[in-house]
Chains A and B, each alone.
Chain A
Amino acid sequence: MKKSAYILLFSCLILFQSCFEIIEQVFIKNDGSGNFQLVINLSKSKTRVNSIMKMKTVNGHDVPTKAEITEKVAAIEKTIAGTAGISNVKTNLDFTNYIATLTCDFSKVAQLNTVVKNINDKEKGKQKTEKSFDLDAATNVFSRLNKFQFKEDYNKMSNADKEIFSGANYTAIYKFEKPVSLVSNKDANISPSKKAVMLKLNVLDIITNKKSIENKITITK
């Protein structure tokens, strides 16, 4: 009865948009090593996600079980841990609030690109995985690049699927030991101490290429 009630109710609930947030945080030390954190927070939509999790399919897509999600995240964790120069890999799945967290340490920024490539290869992703992060030691410029293009995939999506992105946000935080002198992205803010940069964007703007997550951050020598 519980399940059938959900099926009954879900048909109207999927009409309404849901919210989620992606937080990417990179801390870079002077020697180029650092820490990476990725948080996917679906907590604001937890009632809807909770309903979806009780169903087998939604909008024609299969809904993974908690066990399947856990297994997939463990596989990703294993892939990351197997990347040279990456250490202290930790993942956390909070199925009460629907928050997924991934953290790891790196000895060189370039190793983050290898992580992205390895995951993409493992998951047979179609996206080009060139550089996503770069630290030019000569110029002391940290670059966040974006070779991923979702607009075409987004355009092919059904309206119901597109709605998912309408309330979603992306937050990037980059921290350094030395002050930042310049940022290339006009939507990015520099903290008062100049050691942190924040970029907050709407996911839909990124997908539709109205805004970019790319950023060149010049760190003082």
Chain B
Amino acid sequence: MKKFFFALSLSCSLVTVSFAQDLLTKVPSNATVVIKYSKDNFGKSVPLTKLDSYGFIRNEFFKMLKMDTLTSMDNTGIDLLSDSYQYVDLGDSTKSFVTLIHLSDSSKFARFLNPSVSKKNKPEVQNGFRLISLSDETYVALNDKIAMIATVSYDDRGNYYDREYNNGSDSVYVGSDSVFVGDVEVVPPPPPPPAPKYKQPAKQKPVVKAAPGKAKTKPTAKAKPKAKPKPPRLPKPTLEDKIEEVTVETTIDGIKYNYDDSVDNVKREVFYQQQEIKRKQVQHDLAVTTATQIFSGNIASIANDVSYKKLIDPAAHVSIWMNSNDLVSQYSRFFSRAWNGSYRYPTRFTKDSLAGFNAGTNVYFENDKIRAEQKTFSADKGLSELGQSIMNSKQNPSLAGFVNPGNIGYLSMSVNTEAMANYYYRLIRQYLSDNRYMREYSDIVDIYIDFLEIAIDEKALAELSPGNFLFVMHDLKTKTVTYTDYSYDSEYNKTETKGTRKEISPDFSFVMETKKDAFMQKLAKLPLKYAEKEHYKYFDRGGYYELEMDSSDIIGNLYFMVKDGKALVTTSKTVVDLALTNKGFELDNETKKSILNNNYSMKLNSSRMLEKLSGEFTTTVNKKVTDYLIDNIGDVRMESSVKDGMIQSTTTMAIKGKHNNSLEFFFNMIDSINDIIEKDKQEKLNRVD
């Protein structure tokens, strides 16, 4: 079912392209993550007919969706000319992943869902929509125009031992979810009118089964019983009734068949069955609530959110908006519960206390590359300024000289470490103040952090490492390694032989700027004294230090050097020699500009890296996939700096080969790799046969 839901959501998202009613107005403002699949992009870049022609879509995707391979995506009833959205809504104990799509034909869509709908789960007609349950976690709600597909989960299971032995009540923790508070349903559905409590008639109650050997009682009357008057219609059982039923049934079964079990085991089993019923009920109610909000239009939409407007570009093919506050809170909740071993403990942090950053990523599938623009924004002016002050740094031009032409890749980083230290003070202060157990002592925390600020000399730290770093993977060289093997004569007498093989040995440099040369020199010299005692080979080579590695080590020797405000660790003697003579590599203007004008600059020559690694891939399928990627993937680049008062990054991946655009490349790549793997599987099967 998960696979089906995933495939369904993805198909709804991938093939959509505009107008009609903008579904963004149906995305709630408290969503944690919002993904938009925009108009005119997919349809223009990869027409539906092309999409239908991909083998992996026909063979894998359709299979997951339980569609026959002769059907087209057009027959799903989904309006393929409209934007679609996905969003994540995280509550204290609930999670919803919702996909919103337009429908071109709701009957076709319902038929398309049919194979996945259990006969037990009849559609529920709600106010303005039909709700179809695909499983306890997956629900589809639809009217004639739109559909909502939601996967929901409730994770506030009670801990039996906590309740039994620590007097923890099942209703102690009152979450802030809109759907469920403790054991009491809040919204929706509205509370039912007062009605007599549902009780199973005595005859229908779970019957204690006859003991082994005892004759079963059979109805004795042969005559057809008189038509009984219809029993009065009983109200729908409430959650408490369901729980009661389970309690009775399990208790009877438990006592009857598990004499050896302790009463405690039976009680525990009953308890967890109750929790399971509760989970299903809450999930159902959550789906109804979500659908009601969407279909009634009574919703505070993210469309009016300042950060959403600022971060999301309507022209992007795909855009992702994230509320990092909620994600941080969610992590905290997860670890807090894992630490306490219980879902019942209150979370350590309050939801809205971490006023942080929101992030947006806009993805564009251009003709020659995939481009992702990421922006980070905080409505909190102080935090925004703090973030920008961290980026208030310029890369040291002398570091750029370590980037050799034809390298495999590099990462340059330039941040203001002093500002970073100040940011951490704020973060720690906020972290501790938001902690449920520490909030009472926030004044002490405040003094403690103030003391830390006094005790730690962030200016001195910034001098030791002002924040300029560079890592370069110069090359992936090969190293000849000897190994022991055995050869056998005609009588299978074993003789030890020596062989050699080539192994990949990375050639890299890491360099950081420092204003504390003397301290770094001391640090580099320190291992000399202990080399003999610790059995490693570390030498002073005059101007630099050399750590000799064993022949069986993957990397060659390591060199350490501190000179002219730079601390260097490298495997390259060439780099050492250049540094000793105050020289550097000749760098092309584009790379130089990228390194010096950005806080972060990264480049990865993907095809060169894959070419170097290709010798390591021994299976045919891996070799074929590698060859395909070498021919089709270009350089990956990333740059990040402050623009328009926001931290902005641009990541691109160039494409090669015969593709009309990068979106088509994306589908072609999946299809080709899938094809290679499937053919390999088939060949293996044929060999076995």
Q: Check A9 against B555 for contact (C-beta < 8 Å).
A: yes
Contact B483 A46 (CB under 8 A): yes
Residues of B within 8 Å of A192, CB to CB, are 490-491
Contacting residues of chain B (485-530) with chain A, CB-CB under 8 angstroms: 485-486, 488, 490-492, 494, 499, 501, 503, 506
Residues of A within 8 A of B492 (CB): 173, 175, 191, 196-198
From residue B617, how far is it (CB to closest CB) to chain A in Å?
7
Q: Is A122 an interface residue (CB 8 A)?
A: no
Stretch at the interface among B32-40, B154-162, B212-220, B545-553: B545-553
Distance, CA A16 to CA B488, complexed state (A)? 28
For the complex, give the distance between the alpha carbons of A4 and B340 in Å.
32
Interface readout for A162-188 with B: 1 if CB under 8 Å, 0 if not? 000011000101010000000000000
B617: contacting residue among A2, A9, A16, A43, CB under 8 A: A16
Contact flag A50-B558 (CB < 8 Å), given A16-B616, A41-B486: no
Q: In the docked arrangement, what's the CA distance between A5 and B560, Å?
A: 13
Taking CB atoms, residues of chain B closer than 8 Å to A210 are: 688
Closest partner residue, chain B, to A175 (CB atom): B492
Cα of A43 to Cα of B560 in the assembled complex, Å: 30
Report A98 CB to chain B, min CB distance, Å: 8
B554 at the interface (CB under 8 A from A): yes
Q: Of B483, B553, B558, which contacts A44 at CB under 8 A? A: B483
How far is A192 from B493 in the complex, measured between Cα atoms in Å? 12
Residues of B with C-beta under 8 A to A23:
486, 494
Residue of B nearest to A41 (CB): B484
A46 engages B491 (CB within 8 Å)? no
B486–A9 touching, CB < 8 Å: no
Cβ of B569 under 8 Å from chain A:
yes
B554 touches A51 (CB 8 A): yes
Quick check: is A47 within 8 A (CB to CB) of the other chain?
yes
Instruction: Report yes or no: B494 in contact with A25, Cβ–Cβ below 8 A.
Output: yes
Q: A17-B618, A198-B492 are in contact. Are A44 and B485 (CB under 8 A)?
A: yes
Within the complex, which residue of A43, A97, A167 is in contact with B618, where a contact is CB–CB below 8 Å?
A167
Q: How far is the CA of A25 from the CA of B491 in the complex (A)?
A: 13
Q: Map CB proximity to B onto A4-47 as digits: 1 under 8 Å, 0 otherwise.
A: 01100100110011000101010000000000000101011011
Chain B residues positioned under 8 Å from A175 (CB to CB): 492
B618 A196 Cβ-Cβ under 8 A: no
Contacts of B547 in A (CB 8 A): 2
Q: How far is the CA of A173 from the CA of B493 in the complex (A)?
A: 9
* Cα–Cα distance between A173 and B560 once the two chains are bound (Å): 50
Within 8 A of A (CB), among B343-399: none
Contacts of B490 in A (CB 8 A): 191-192
Q: Is B481 an interface residue (CB 8 A)?
A: yes
A96 interface residue per 8 A CB criterion: yes
Q: Does A211 contact B (CB under 8 A)?
A: no
The answer to whether B484 and A97 have CB atoms under 8 Å apart is yes
Complex: A2 Cα to B488 Cα, angstroms = 39
* Residues in B neighbouring A96, C-beta threshold 8 A: 552
Within 8 A of B (CB), among A42-75: 43-44, 46-48, 50-51
- Give the shortest distance, in Å, between A198 (CB) and chain B (any CB): 5
Q: A1-B569, A44-B501 are in contact. Are A97 and B550 (CB under 8 A)?
A: no
Chain B residues whose C-beta falls within 8 Å of the C-beta of A99 in the assembled complex = 484
- B61: shortest Cβ distance to chain A, in Å? 23
Q: With a 10 A CB-CB cut-off, give which of A39, A48, A50, A167 has the most chain B CB atoms.
A: A50
Residue contact B553 to A50, C-beta cutoff 8 Å: yes
Of the residues A9, A173, A197, A198, contact of B554 by C-beta under 8 Å: A9
Interface centre among A39, A193, A196, by most B CB within 10 Å?
A: A196
* Contact between A1 and B483, CB atoms less than 8 A apart: no
| Measured CA separation A5–B556 after assembly (Å) | 12
| Chain A: number of interface residues, binned into ranges | 35 or more
Q: How far is the CB of A192 from chain B (nearest CB, A)?
A: 6
B484 and A1 contact, CB distance less than 8 A: no
In the assembled complex, the CB of B641 is this many whole angstroms from the nearest CB of chain A, namely 26
> Is B483's CB under 8 angstroms from A43's CB?
yes
Q: Which residues does chain B contribute within 8 Å of A46, judged by CB atoms?
A: 481, 483, 552
CB-based nearest A residue for B476: A12
Which residues from chain A contact B483 at a C-beta distance below 8 Å? 43-44, 46, 97
Q: Given the complex, which residues of A lie within 8 Å of B554, measured CB to CB?
A: 6, 9, 13, 47-48, 50-51
B506 touching A9, Cβ below 8 Å:
yes
Once A2-B558, A166-B619, A173-B494 are accepted as A-B contacts, the answer to whether A43 and B484 lie under 8 Å apart by CB is: yes
> CA–CA, A140 to B479, complex, Å?
51
B219: min CB distance to chain A, Å: 50
A195 at the interface (CB under 8 A from B): yes
CA distance A192 to B618 in the complex (A): 34
CB nearest neighbor in B for A193: B491
Distance in Å: Cβ of B591 to nearest Cβ of chain A: 22
Query: When each residue 541-576 of chain B gets 1 if its CB lies under 8 Å from chain A and 0 otherwise, what string results?
Result: 000000100101111001010000000010000000
Residue of B nearest to A97 (CB): B484
Which residues 81-101 of A have a CB within 8 angstroms of B?
A: 96-97, 99
Determine the chain B residues whose CB is within 8 A of the CB of A43 once the complex forms.
Answer: 483-485
User: In the complex, what residues of B have CB within 8 A of residue A195's CB?
Assistant: 491
Residues of A within 8 A of B560 (CB): 1
B617 proximity list for chain A (CB < 8 A): 16
- Given A1-B569, A173-B492, A196-B492, A47–B481 Cβ distance below 8 Å? yes
Interface 1/0 per residue, B456-488 and A, CB below 8 Å: 000000000000000000000001010111101
Q: Which residues of A contact B552 (CB under 8 A)?
A: 46-47, 50, 96
Q: Which chain A residues lie closer than 8 Å to B553 at the CB level? A: 47, 50-51
Give the nearest-CB partner of A191 in chain B. B491
Residue of chain A at shortest CB distance from B547: A2
Contacts of A171 in B (CB 8 A): 486
CB distance from B482 to the nearest CB of A (A): 9
Complex: chain A residue closest to B524, CB-CB: A1
Q: Which residue of B lies closest to A51 (CB)?
A: B554
Q: How far is the CA of A193 from the CA of B491 in the complex (A)?
A: 7
Complex CA gap A6/B550 in Å reads 13
Q: Which residues of B contact A25 (CB under 8 A)?
A: 494
A198 to B488, CA, bound (A): 10
In the complex the two chains form, what is the Cα distance from A181 to B483 in whole Å? 37
Which residue of chain B lies nearest to A194 when distances are taken between CB atoms in the complex?
Answer: B491
Q: How far is the CA of A191 from the CA of B501 in the complex (A)?
A: 30
Contact status A5-B558, CB under 8 Å? yes
Residue of B nearest to A13 (CB): B554
B408 to chain A, nearest CB (A): 12
Q: Which residues of A contact B488 (CB under 8 A)?
A: 173, 198
Nearest A residue (CB) for B538: A2
**Chain B CB within 10 Å — which of A2, A23, A44, A173 has the most?**
A2
The 25 listed contacts between A and B (C-beta, < 8 Å) are A2-B547, A5-B558, A5-B569, A13-B554, A21-B485, A23-B486, A39-B486, A41-B485, A43-B483, A43-B484, A43-B485, A47-B553, A47-B554, A50-B554, A51-B553, A96-B552, A99-B484, A191-B490, A191-B491, A192-B490, A193-B491, A195-B491, A196-B491, A197-B492, A210-B688
Given contacts A97-B484, A173-B492, 9 further A-B contacts (CB under 8 A): A1-B558, A6-B554, A9-B506, A21-B486, A48-B554, A50-B553, A97-B483, A197-B492, A198-B492
Q: Would you list the 5 A-B pairs with minimal beta carbon distance, nearest first?
A: A43-B483, A43-B484, A196-B492, A16-B616, A50-B552
Which residues from chain B sit less than 8 Å from chain A, CB to CB?
Answer: 479, 481, 483-486, 488, 490-492, 494, 499, 501, 503, 506, 547, 550, 552-555, 558, 560, 569, 613, 616-619, 688
